[in-house]
């Protein structure tokens, strides 16, 4: 009984520490994503993921957030992107219908926000990877393999794509040499 209780407490500590890992996220839109969050802590916290052209020192459109906020951001942003895509598609299609018919067809053409394929498409664009594990090297590795906790659609898609615990690797773009530019034009 006591052993199970200790194991349960160990799992709770590990899950709490994991929720505080630092994740780098990206905002692919033209507007800043601003959110107020007050679940952890005494006062409300404002966090911002800058728009894709704004650089706050972490790369254009990037910010580092604790995992629990990064998950919240990714879920809200994916739903926003799906709704935006759905609206744009409807704006194109609605021209084919009379004004009095449009209300009946709008729902037919709407994309579902739980469309797994769209989540798989958008998640890698938003979730860049783990920057820092909470507690650093002090956390011991689990002695026996444990199944990751399964949550909503975000957690399932992230696990399928194996991106949830992927380390962030910064891409460094090398400028092309002048000779390479000339050769690529000749091809």
pLDDT digits (tens, 9 = 90+) for 51-99: 989 988 888 999 999 888 899 999 999 999 999 988 888 788 777 777 7
Asked whether the beta carbons of 59 and 53 are under 8 A apart, the reply is: no
Contact 110, 8 (CB under 8 A): no
Distances (CA, A) of 180 to 72, 90, 173, 176, 185: 43, 44, 15, 6, 9
The span from the CA of 68 to the CA of 89, in Å, is: 32
Average pLDDT over residues 180-185: 48
- pLDDT per position as a tens digit, 150-172: 567 777 777 777 777 777 777 76
What does the pLDDT average to over 99-118? 76
37-61 mean pLDDT: 82
Per-residue burial over 73-103, b = 16 or more CB atoms within 10 Å of its CB, e = otherwise: bbbebbbebbeeebeeebeeebeeeeeeeee
What are the CA-CA distances from residue 154 to residues 34, 55, 114, 122 (Å)? 20, 26, 10, 11
Does this model's pTM top 0.75? no
* The pLDDT of residue 157: 77
Q: Which residues are CB-contacts of 105 (< 8 A; sequence separation ≥ 6)?
A: 93, 94, 97
> What integer is the mean pLDDT of 127-155?
64
Ranked by mean pLDDT, the top range of 24-38, 103-117, 143-157, 168-182 is 24-38
Q: Mean pLDDT throughout 40-61? A: 84
Which of 160, 122, 96, 93 is closest to 25 using CA atoms?
A: 122
In terms of Cα–Cα distance, which of 23, 26, 19 is closest to 56? 26
pLDDT > 90? residue 14: no
């Amino acid at each position: 009984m006591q052993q199970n209780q200790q194991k349960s407490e160990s799992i709770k500590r590990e899950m709490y520490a994991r929720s505080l890992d630092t994740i780098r996220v990206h905002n692919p839109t033209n507007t800043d994503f601003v959110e107020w969050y007050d679940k952890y802590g005494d006062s409300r916290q404002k966090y911002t993921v800058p728009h894709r052209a704004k650089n706050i020192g972490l790369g254009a459109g990037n910010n580092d957030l604790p995992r629990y906020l990064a998950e919240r951001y990714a879920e809200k942003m994916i739903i926003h992107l799906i709704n935006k895509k759905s609206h744009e598609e409807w704006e194109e299609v609605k021209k084919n219908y009379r004004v009095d018919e449009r209300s009946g067809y709008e729902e037919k053409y709407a994309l579902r926000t739980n469309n797994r394929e769209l989540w798989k498409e958008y998640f890698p664009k938003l979730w860049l990877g783990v920057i820092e594990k909470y507690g650093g090297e002090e956390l011991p590795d689990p002695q026996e393999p444990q199944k990751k906790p399964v949550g909503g659609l975000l957690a399932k898609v992230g696990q399928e794509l194996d991106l949830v615990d992927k380390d962030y690797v910064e891409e460094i773009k090398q400028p092309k040499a002048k000779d390479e530019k000339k050769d690529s034009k000749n091809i």
